[in-house]
Amino acid sequence: MTIPAHVVNGNRSTTLWRAAAGALAALLLAGAATAQVTGLYYQEIRKDGTIYVFNTYERYKSFQETGEMGKTAITLPGRGPNGETLIGENATAIDLFLFKNNLPGYDRPTATPAAPAAAFPNVKISGLAYISYQDGTTGGKDYSQFTLKRGYLDTQAKITSYLSARGTLDITQDTTGDWKPRFKYLYGKLDFGSAGFLTTTYAEFGLAHMPWLDFEEHINYYRLQDPMFMESNGLFNSADVGLLVGGNFGGDMPADYKKNVSSAYPGRYGSFQVGVYNGTGYHASEANTNKVLEGRISIRPLPDVIPGLQFTYFGINGKGNTAAASDWSLSAGMVSYESEYVVLTGQYFTGKGEQDGKSVDSLGNALEKSGYSGFVEGKLTREWSLIARYDNFDPNTNASNVRSKKTIGGVAYKFNSSNMLLLDYQQVKYDQPGKPTDKRTQLTLQVSF
């Protein structure tokens, strides 16, 4: 069979065109590859068992002048062909060297993701309640009642890295029995950071903490039983309108101490607070123009030997909150010890007058006072504790038969670090002839959320 000439010529023509197109494509691809490789600079220097490789002429030239590889340099010990140390200007220089020498690729370390920036404002809402049943006698009269001893609704907001705020509503029962809210705290807080030996310094401005009670209540955690010694005898309460400045000494205690013993006021060598206030407390209006100065300093003398031991001084100087502005001064000292197994405190105070300014003689002079108190907590297990406290208070040191003596004993079960159930018995004996002893049995649930 004879094939027509035009068919043969057509196939040859098509074949030629395909060959030409393939050659052109190969040339174009080769050109593109050449252009890509040409854009990667590569140079290496071998010196004293080390191979230096470069991806830019500028770094190569700079290395020859200074001997420095730059901040982005990567060091790979033993990755050269004969076990040399390989130092590359960057990851690309390392890749080029390994490819050139037919060596295994470079496994880049996984980058640690950057911590997300703090979102402001950061708001936290919490609550605290003491719910109690009490049965006892006071002034010779029996009573039996369920009561709400405390109810907090607390809001704290982190506004910026150095500015925060707190507002705490506290319930109180008026003379009609109605439950009403009032502010216990309402302040702005500025965090100043550290300045040498002073660390974690801050200031509270507004209805702020006073220096003593928050500190004591973070050693004796049983505020649910009743107020602390000096507050229970009417000398002062825990907050007032004014300015408080505080901080720690010498950084913080170790993490295991803060976890297993206490994270409150954790200054390695102690802490301090000093404030100036209206002098009214948080539930009275100001009756004069006087301002009250208060301060606390706590020293932890042996943080590595006896970390839980602290010596604390607290002082007040001002006027009581009446128009007459009677004298009000107080000087108190406390020794405290905290550990995983036991908490001990002993305190003594002497002073004149009190916050409300009503403890005066017939001439309006403030009465001199003194007293002492001791507290112990024995931690049987993480859940069970035994507590005991003794208060001895003299409201007028110039008079006889006015002293009171309070004894407290109880057993507590802790559901966790901030929720517990306490059963306690309390009695108060009076030196005053004919005044009957007050007695009370109490079961209290502390709920924190």
Asked if residue 226 and residue 104 are part of one domain, the reply reads no
| Pair (296, 393) in one structural domain | yes
Do 305 and 411 reside in the same domain of the chain? yes
**What is the residue whose two structure tokens read 């035009």?**
6
Residue 5: inside a domain, yes or no?
no
Which pLDDT value is given to residue 22?
A: 46
CA torsion, ordered 118, 248, 447, 229, to nearest 10 deg: -160
- Is 302 within a domain? yes
Model confidence at 429, pLDDT cuts 50, 70, 90, reads very high
Environment class of 407 (CB within 10 Å of its CB; exposed 0-12, middle 13-18, buried 19+): middle
Are 320 and 209 in a shared domain? yes
CATH number for position 415: 2.40.160.10
In a domain, 80, yes or no: yes
Q: Quick one: which of 297, 358, 362, 293 has its CA closest to 329?
A: 293
Q: 378 pairs with which residues across the strands?
A: 342, 386
Render pLDDT for 271-282 as a digit per residue (tens, 0 to 9). Answer: 999 999 999 999
- Give the tens place of pLDDT for each residue, 117-142: 667 789 999 999 999 999 999 999 99
The yes-or-no verdict on residue 420 having pLDDT over 60 is yes
- Which contiguous run of DSSP H or E holds residue 219? none
pLDDT digits (tens, 9 = 90+) for 84-130: 999 999 988 888 899 889 888 877 776 667 667 667 789 999 999 99
First to last CA, the chain: 101
> Same domain for 275 and 370?
yes
Of 83, 109, 135, the last residue of a domain is 109
Which among 444, 441, 407, 439 is positioned nearest to 135, based on CA atoms? 441
For residue 17, is it within any domain? Answer: no
What strand order describes the sheet that includes 85-88? 43-47, 50-54, 85-88, 74-76
- Please report whether residue 15 resides in a domain: no
How many domains does one find in the chain?
Answer: 2
Q: Are residues 135 and 83 in the same domain?
A: no
Q: Are residues 413 and 351 in the same domain?
A: yes
Name the average pLDDT for the chain: 90
Residues 60 and 104 in one domain: yes
Cα separation, 119 vs 384, whole angstroms = 40
Question: Which segment of 55-59, 151-155, 399-403, 430-434 scores lowest on mean pLDDT?
Answer: 55-59
Better-predicted residue by pLDDT, 396 or 7:
396
The residue among 59, 84, 109 that closes a domain is 109
pLDDT category at 40 given cuts 50, 70, 90 is confident
**Other residues' Cβ atoms within 10 Å of the Cβ of residue 207:** 20
The encoded tokens of residue 420 equal 């517990």
Same-domain pairing of 305 and 226: yes
CB 182 within 8 A of CB 283: yes
What is d(CA 29, CA 34) in angstroms, rounded to the nearest whole number?
A: 8
Residue 293 falls inside a structural domain: yes
Is 243's pLDDT higher than 60? yes
- Indicate if 84 and 161 belong to the same structural domain: no
Share of the chain above pLDDT 90, in %: 77
Q: Is residue 319 in some structural domain?
A: yes
Q: Are residues 105 and 127 in the same domain?
A: no
Say if 46 falls within a structural domain: yes
Q: Do both 157 and 300 map to the same domain?
A: yes
Domain that holds residue 36: 25-109
Q: Which of 75, 109, 143 is the C-terminal boundary of a domain?
A: 109
Residue 6 has pLDDT above 80, yes or no: no
**pLDDT for 7:** 36
Tell me the pLDDT tens digit for each residue of 182-220.
999 999 999 999 999 999 999 999 999 999 999 999 999
